[in-house]
Each structure stands twice: as C-alpha cells, then as structure tokens.
Amino acid sequence: MGMAKKTKSKASRPRATEKASRNRHRSARTPAQQRIYTIPDHRLEKLSIELRQVHDGDAVRYEVSGNLSAPAPPIRDSKYLNKQQCIEIYRWMLLNRKMEAALENLYKQGKVVGGVYFGLGQEACSCASAYALKPEEWLGPMIRNQGSLLVRGFSPRDIMMQYMAKAGSPTKGRDASSHFGDIQTRNVVAPISTLGDLIPVLAGVALGARMQGRNIAVMTYIGDGGQSTGVTYEGLNFAAVQNLGLVLFVENNLWGYSTPADMQFRVEDLAERAIAYGIPGVIVDGTDACQVYDAAHEACERARRGEGPTLIEAKMMRMKGHAIHDAAEYVPKPLFEYWKKRDPIARFENYLVNVKKWLAREEHEKLIAGVDAQLEADRDFAVASPMPEPETAVGGAYCEPGCHEIKPKYGIPNVKTGKRGISRRAESAVHLK
Amino acid sequence: MPTLTYLEAIRQGIWEEMDRDPTVFCIGEDIGIYGGAFKVTDGFIDRFGPERVIDTPIAESAIVGAAFGAALTGMRPVAEFQFMDFIGCAFNQITNMVAKAHYRWGAPAPIVIRGPSGGNVHGGPFHSQNPEMYFVHAPGLKVVCPATAYDAKGLIKASIRDNNPVIFFEHKYLYRRIKEDIPADDYVVPLGKARVARSGRDLSIITYAAMVHVALEAAEQLSREGIELEVLDLRTLSPLDRDAISDTVRRTNKVLILHEDVRTGGIAGEVAAIINEEAFDSLDGPIVRLTALDTPVPFSPPQEEFFLPQVSDVVREARKLASY
C-alpha cells in the first residue's frame, strides 16, 4: 500500500538470497563503496494494493485499488514444525478466535466492563510466535495478543474475568483486557496502554537473565501504529547495542486505530528499520502460522546463542475495528474481502485437513468440540464468579515486607571483583559547582 | 570514622551494596570509564566490571524500562539520571509501567532511580530543577531527598534494599559542600522517617534537602534573639512521616514550611493539609509557606538568588510568625 507511492518499485530494492542473508546485518561493501542490505522476505505473495484518500462529494474517505482478486497464497511448509506441533498451534488459534467470539457475546449481554479488543485475522501471529518460546523465557503481549497469553498458560477464564472486572481475574479487578502478567511461572510482563513501552522492559529481562548466566529469548510485539513511538526506538536500540535476545514482532496490521500504515511511516517495509538498528530484519506473512513460527524460532535460537535481537515484520490486517465500539467504517470494504480470503485459520485448517491430511475429519471434530467445551466451562465459571468487594481497591500499591521475596530467577550473578578500592576523587566533572 | 562529603557518602553506599549483593548493578549514561557527570560512580567499572556498570545510549525511557525488566528477574538496578531535570523523558515508564506494577499485577520493582537535582549552582532551567512532586503524586513510588552525608549513605542503602521503586534526589549543591564523619560499619536510614535536625520551642520549620541547611543557619541567627526554631528534615517525601509532622506542630504550635521547589503543588501544600487533619487544634498561628517562585529556575545568579528562598527570608518570616 502506498499513500503517495504510485507504483511498487520492487526492482530498485535489492533483496537477499537466503545464503547472503546470514550475514545480512553487516553491510557488504562493493568496490564502489555502495552498501547493500538485505531483508529476507518469506511471503509467498507480495501485496500490490494501494490505499489513498479521495474526495467523495463533501466527504474524504479511503479508497483501495490494485489486484484485489489475487488468489490467497498457500501455507508455506515449516522447516521445524512437525504434525503434532502444527495441530497444537491450530488449536491455540481456534481457541483464540472462539474465545474472542465468546467475549463479543458477553459484551452484547452487558457483562463486559469497558470494551473488547480483538485479534481477528492475527491469531497465527500471536499463537505461532509465542509457541516458539520455552517456558523459562519471557513474553510481553500487546492488546491483541490474547492468543499469546493462552499459549503462555493463561486460560480463557483468566481473560474473560479480566474483561468482566471480576474479583478472581489475574489483576483481581484492578486492570482490564490483556493487562496482566506473571513473574513466577508463566513469565509474562503485563502491558500498559501506551505503545512501545514493553520493548525496553523485555530487553531488561534479557539483561537480567544474562547477568545470571543465561541467554534467553524474550519476545514482544509492536504494531505499525505503535512503532512510531520514541520508546520503540529507545528500547530496540538499547537491545541492539547490548546484544540482548529480544525478538520483536512488528505486527503490521495496516491500521493504527483509524490511521492507515502509510500515515505512520515512509519505508515500504517496517523490517527495513532493522538495518538502521544494525540487527537482522525479516518479513513474514502474518497470516501463515508456519512462516511466523519459523521466523520466531530462528530469532529465538539467535537469542539463545547470545547473538542479539531480531525484528520480524508480520504482514496482515486487523479484521475488526480498534475495539468493539469501532465499526471500522473507514476501511474500504474490498480490503476486508481481500484479507478475508487470507484468513489465518481457514487457510491453516485447509492445509492440515486437505493439503497435509494430518487432521482427519473425526479428529478435527473432536478438537473443535474440545475447544467449545473448554470455552463454555470457562465462560460459565467467569460469569458466575463474583465482582470484587469495594474495599479491595485498597492496598498493594507498595510491596510490603513479607509480600515478595526478591531473588535472582536464573541463578546468583557471577560477579568479578577488581582489586581497586573506592575512589576518593573530589573534583566535580562538570562546571556546575 | 572517615569524613565523607555528601557525594562520597552516596558513592560509598552504592559501592557497599554492590559488594554485599551480587544482584545490585548500576546503569546509566557515562557512568562507566568516565565515572558519571558528577563522578558518583568513579572507579566502579574497575571494581565491578562493565557487566555491572553499564553505560547506555542517551535514552532515559530505555534506562528505566531495562532496569524494570532486570528487576523482574530478581536484580536490583541502580539507574543514574545525569540530571534529574531529564527524568521527564522517562515519565511514562516511571509512572505508568513501574509505579503501577505492584498494584496492577503484583510485580515488585526493586529499582532505584537516582541523580542530581536542585539549584543554586547557576545551572539554568534544565540543570537546576526539583521535579520530586511529579513522583510524590504517583502511588507506588517512594521519593527520597537526603540533606546530610550521613543520611545520604543510609538512605541510598535503604533504597537499594527496598522492594519498591525509589526516586532518589541528590542535591547537587550539597555534593561537595558538606561533609561529616560517617561510621565505617554498615547502617541504613529507614525510608519514611523524618528527623529533627534541631530542637526548639518557638516555631517549627519543616523542610528537606538543601533547604535544611538554610533553615539551620536561620535558626542559629534567631537563637541569638532568643527565638528557638525546631527544624524538621523530612528526608523522605513519599511516604511522608505524618507523625513527625504533627508531633513538631504539637511541640511548637507554629509552623513554617520551606522548600526549594516551586510554590504551587509543592510539598508545602500537602504538609499543610496533614497539619490541618492531624494537629489543627495545636496551631497558634497561620501555616506559612516559604518556597521558590512559580517560574522556571532562572539562569543568571542575581535572578536565581531572588528565585530561591534565602536565609534572610527565613529569618524575616520566622520572626513575624514567632510574634504572632
């Protein structure tokens, strides 16, 4: 898509061969001292549609043009996932989507406090990325990554109770939506509403683990809108400079609330940003669970080898409004139709059932029935659970003696102590005296 | 007992905590080989290595975010801000990410954010500010403002050991101007406890940081006239020591609140409200505020001197109040 870009000039942008891509973040100088950077792009199709603002009578609206009738691409075979793992990811995606449908119903029944945020169309990116992490590694979800939370071990019940502000929600009623975490077992950092702030925090998690002798992968997400924030730059640059194992998914879902991606940035692909950080950048089809997993897995392996951060741009579209109140009427209908054909779950289902024949009809029906039963039980539990007592608003702003024991999670840091004693240097380094 | 400056006391406090606890580390701008803009961490990198004395890009949100992330794994980061004037760059990380973490999702954040604040050094609008009240206003944070070398060491050690985020304001005017004998053994000064810096019967001055020394000088002058001031050094602005505030008012029945921060929204308003709530019946006169002007900190020395409360201002206002 290009607001002002009339044509997609693919030829002018050098792309990597797979082999060259291994060293791609180091600039290779030609004799003419021309830098060549490469960004591996694993997609099986490239978008060739364009969005622009047009005057329509008295109103200004968005209009889309391009090859909107192109057939949806197939799912790319994973280099790493086996049959069982693919089916597991498919189940998480299904649970993700059906849980959000249940939340929509709960909202319509007046049982949700506030709004509901959806990851419709983004389930492959949430679920397959989180699936690449090990239990002892860390994840920081954004508002649409409810699938990631499920994969990390939270239940639909937890998420439903958050939306209904119940006493038994992970934040005990104190915060909403995906705004919760767990530092004990699931290793999830609770997001805040402002965008990009998780990036330095996850980098810091990797820093803490490294001081304790462990190179771990830490994963978080940012959108095409959120990546405009300053803290996104600060966090990713810090991770790059410190060579920390951050895996940053840039979920380019084409809309930041009502603002199209082209009004957020000028580069063609957000993965190009990686070049400026001096780290690898990769592009995947965010609606293809196998591509998402493979890129996440390779980035996590780099992180575990202590080779630093990776930026993965996942291309997809947000298939609902910003939240449930937003009907997304500003999105041209043909764009929805285009992306509906690229639905991550329908295509993955077709891949597993018809292409690979890994999921027989009976087994598939059983899987769906299991998801439905789980959601029904969780919904009933969440609905029946009590609201918090008013006075539970009090307390907990501070960690009081006895409420937490702070100890290193991965082991006592191995410290080296030099012989030098404490400085008695008296003069000030600055002119302010 | 070694004689240490205020700065050396802070340096020694952090040094001892890093020696004692392998989870304590320093992170900030120019703190490594250079030793920090004011040399608080001078020599730390030689002793503790670059793994524990981390120079960062000029990116305050990243410094705080990374400190918080490391804390989630059980580390105790001490983050230096080159000047506390720059803390606004990390305001969102501090007040939304860090301060709310324990209340929202039960994540303790044992981090210290420390650096030089305050004026009287002709630093101008961006190197002289007292931004403490932004953080006093954020539940979940503790705010510490030491006035003496002894307290600076004891409070930095207590802040590092605390399981909550502590914003530690070092007064740069005091860094090398005051020194005292500091016990060689390990001690902490508890957070949230004020200190009676001078006892007196006629009037209480409630203050903190560099203004403690202004109040003490005024008290010395007035003592010669037979007016005995009590000086209460708050030491910690959040949590405030409500008992110490009401106790001093009950002893002297008159109170003057003095601070270097600007007037509107300064801690004086909050202290006055506490006196109203806890010790209204003990008051024999109006609560007087003596503060900086409601302007940015001006650069030129005559302007800055006019901007800041001076000993002569305290003497004048205290004399007036004492005769009330």
Distance from CA of B100 to the nearest CA of A (A): 7
A137: left (phi over 0), alpha (psi -120 to 50) or beta: beta
Please tell me chain B's helix, strand, coil percentages from 3-state DSSP, rounded to the nearest 5.
40, 20, 40
Q: In this predicted model, what pLDDT tens digit does every residue of A354-371 receive, in sequence order?
A: 999 999 999 999 999 999
- B:113-132 residues touching chain A, CB 8 A cutoff: 121-123, 127
CA distances, B202 to each of A157, B221, B273 (Å): 63, 14, 21
Residue-range domains of chain A with CATH = 82-325+351-389 (3.40.50.970)
Distance from CA of B58 to the nearest CA of A (A): 9
Within 13 Å of residue A332, how many CA atoms lie on the same side as its CB?
20
- B:25-64 residues touching chain A, CB 8 A cutoff: 25, 34-39, 42-43, 46-49, 51-52, 54, 56-57, 59-64
Q: Which of B83, B80, B12, B22 is nearest to B49 (CA)?
A: B22
pLDDT band at A25 (very low <50, low <70, confident <90, very high): very low
Chain A residues whose CB is inside 8 A of the B135 CB are none
* A231 contacts B65? CB cut-off 8 A: yes
Which chain A residue has the Cα nearest residue B8? Answer: A424
Q: In this predicted model, what pLDDT tens digit does every residue of A235-293 receive, in sequence order?
A: 999 999 999 999 999 999 999 999 999 999 999 999 999 999 999 999 999 999 999 99
The single residue listed with the structure tokens 């499920």 is: A150
From the list B25, B75, B97, the residue facing A192 with the nearest CB is B97
Q: In this predicted model, what pLDDT tens digit does every residue of B110-135 receive, in sequence order?
A: 999 999 999 999 999 999 999 999 99
Q: Which positions ≥6 away from A10 have C-beta within 8 Å? A: A46
Tokens describing residue B273 = 């409200």
Could you write out the DSSP letters of every residue in A134-178?
-TTSEEE--TTTHHHHHHTT--HHHHHHHHTT-TTSTTTTSS-TT
Which chain A residue has the Cα nearest residue B43? Answer: A423
**Can A398 be counted among the known catalytic residues?**
no
If you average pLDDT over residues A170-182, what whole number do you get?
97
* B35 contacts A204? CB cut-off 8 A: no
From the list A197, A230, A420, the residue facing B47 with the nearest CB is A420
Within 13 Å of residue A418, how many CA atoms lie on the same side as its CB?
16
CA distance B91 to B93: 6
Q: In this predicted model, what pLDDT tens digit does every residue of B193-212 receive, in sequence order?
A: 999 999 999 999 999 999 99
pLDDT band at A5 (very low <50, low <70, confident <90, very high): very low
CA distance B102 to B114: 20
Active-site residue, selected from the candidate residues A302, A318, A342, A347: A318
Please state, as a whole number, how many other Cβ atoms lie within 10 Å of the Cβ of residue A191.
25
CA distance A180 to A154: 10
CA distance A24 to A13: 14
* A175 contacts B105? CB cut-off 8 A: yes
* B92 contacts A179? CB cut-off 8 A: no
ipTM, two decimals, is: 0.97
Could you write out the DSSP letters of every residue in B45-89?
HHHH-TTTEEE--S-HHHHHHHHHHHHHTT-EEEEEPSSGGGGGG
From the list B67, B103, B121, the residue facing A397 with the nearest CB is B103
Which chain A residue has the Cα nearest residue B70? Answer: A208
Q: What is the mean pLDDT of chain B?
A: 97
Active-site residue, selected from the candidate residues A76, A330, A364, A410: A330
* B72 contacts A397? CB cut-off 8 A: no
B contact test, residue of A178, A211, A242, A246 with most B CBs within 10 A: A211
From the list A204, A241, A430, the residue facing B67 with the nearest CB is A204
Q: What is the dihedral of CA B247, B249, B250, B251, to 10 degrees?
A: 90
Q: In this predicted model, what pLDDT tens digit does every residue of A144-174 receive, in sequence order?
A: 999 999 999 999 999 999 999 999 999 999 9
Distance from CA of B251 to the nearest CA of A (A): 32
Residue A7 has what pLDDT? 38
Q: Which helix (H) or strand (E) holds A101?
A: helix A83-108
pLDDT band at A424 (very low <50, low <70, confident <90, very high): confident
* B105 contacts A171? CB cut-off 8 A: yes
Chain B residues whose CB is inside 8 A of the A211 CB are 25, 51-52, 70, 75
List the Cα angle A120/A141/A127 in 5-degree steps. 50
Q: Which of A234, A238, A230 is nearest to A206 (CA)?
A: A238
Q: Which helix (H) or strand (E) holds A65?
A: strand A59-66
Decide if pLDDT at A11 tops 90: no
pLDDT band at A6 (very low <50, low <70, confident <90, very high): very low
Q: Catalytic site residues of B?
A: 127
Chain A residues whose CB is inside 8 A of the B34 CB are 429
Burial of A429 (0-12, 13-18, 19+ CB in 10 A): middle
* A428 contacts B39? CB cut-off 8 A: yes
Burial of B197 (0-12, 13-18, 19+ CB in 10 A): buried
Query: From the DSSP assignment, how many helices (H) and strands (E) are in chain B?
Result: 12, 14
Decide if pLDDT at B23 tops 90: yes
* A429 contacts B36? CB cut-off 8 A: yes
* A231 contacts B102? CB cut-off 8 A: no
Chain B residues whose CB is inside 8 A of the A175 CB are 104-105
Are B19 and A417 a contacting pair, CB within 8 Å? yes
Bridge partner residues of B195 (DSSP): B233
pLDDT band at A10 (very low <50, low <70, confident <90, very high): very low
Which chain A residue has the Cα nearest residue B95? Answer: A192
Q: Which of B22, B285, B50, B102 is nearest to A411 (CA)?
A: B22
If you average pLDDT over residues B139-159, what whole number do you get?
98
Which chain A residue has the Cα nearest residue B44? Answer: A422
CA distance B230 to B241: 16
Decide if pLDDT at A29 tops 70: no
From the list B65, B107, B175, the residue facing A235 with the nearest CB is B65
pLDDT band at A432 (very low <50, low <70, confident <90, very high): confident
Decide if pLDDT at A12 tops 70: no
CA distance B207 to A71: 73
Q: What is the dihedral of CA A120, A121, A125, A127, to 10 degrees?
A: 50
Active-site residue, selected from the candidate residues A322, A342, A347, A379: A322
Q: Check CB contact of B66 with chain A, cutoff 8 Å.
A: yes
Which chain A residue has the Cα nearest residue B68? Answer: A201
Amino acid at A18: E
CA distance B161 to B158: 5
pLDDT band at A181 (very low <50, low <70, confident <90, very high): very high
**Can A318 be counted among the known catalytic residues?**
yes
Distance from CA of B198 to the nearest CA of A (A): 27
Decide if pLDDT at A26 tops 70: no
Are B81 and B114 a contacting pair, CB within 8 Å? yes
DSSP SS3 for B179:
strand
* A230 contacts B36? CB cut-off 8 A: no
Which chain A residue has the Cα nearest residue B128? Answer: A432
If you average pLDDT over residues A380-385, what whole number do you get?
98
A contact test, residue of B42, B72, B127, B164 with most A CBs within 10 A: B72
Distance from CA of B260 to the nearest CA of A (A): 17
If you average pLDDT over residues B51-71, what whole number do you get?
98
Q: Between residues A30 and A424, which one has the greater pLDDT?
A: A424
Residue A27 has what pLDDT? 52
Q: In this predicted model, what pLDDT tens digit does every residue of A188-245 receive, in sequence order?
A: 999 999 999 999 999 999 999 999 999 999 999 999 999 999 999 999 999 999 999 9
Tokens describing residue A395 = 């307390």
Cα–chain center distance at B160: 15
Please state, as a whole number, how many other Cβ atoms lie within 10 Å of the Cβ of residue A12.
6
Q: Which positions ≥6 away from B30 have C-beta within 8 Å? A: B36, B37, B55, B82
* B15 contacts A398? CB cut-off 8 A: no
Tokens describing residue A6 = 């009339």
What are the strands of the beta sheet with B53-55, ordered from one edge? B53-55, B24-28, B76-80, B112-117, B166-171, B142-144, B236-238
Q: Note the residue count of chain B.
A: 324
From the list A206, A237, A424, the residue facing B57 with the nearest CB is A237
Q: Which of A116, A128, A119 is nearest to A91 (CA)?
A: A128
* A242 contacts B74? CB cut-off 8 A: no
Residue-range domains of chain B with CATH = 3-181 (3.40.50.970), 195-322 (3.40.50.920)
A275: left (phi over 0), alpha (psi -120 to 50) or beta: alpha
Q: Which positions ≥6 away from B227 have C-beta within 8 Å? A: B202, B203, B318, B319, B322
CA distance A322 to A144: 10
Tokens describing residue B115 = 């650096």
Residue A124 has what pLDDT? 98
Q: In this predicted model, what pLDDT tens digit does every residue of B209-224 receive, in sequence order?
A: 999 999 999 999 999 9
CA distance B108 to B77: 13
Task: Give yes or no for a cis peptide into B239 (omega within 30° of 0).
Answer: yes
The b-or-e profile of B69-106 (16+ CB within 10 A means b, else e) is: bbbbbbbbbbbbbbbbbbbebbbbbbbbbbbbbbbbbb
Cα–chain center distance at A296: 11
Residue A47 has what pLDDT? 84
DSSP SS3 for A25:
coil
Are A314 and A286 a contacting pair, CB within 8 Å? yes
Which chain B residue has the Cα nearest residue A409? Answer: B73
A contact test, residue of B98, B105, B111 with most A CBs within 10 A: B105
Chain A residues whose CB is inside 8 A of the B96 CB are 192-194, 197
Q: Which of B92, B61, B235 is nearest to B156 (CA)?
A: B235
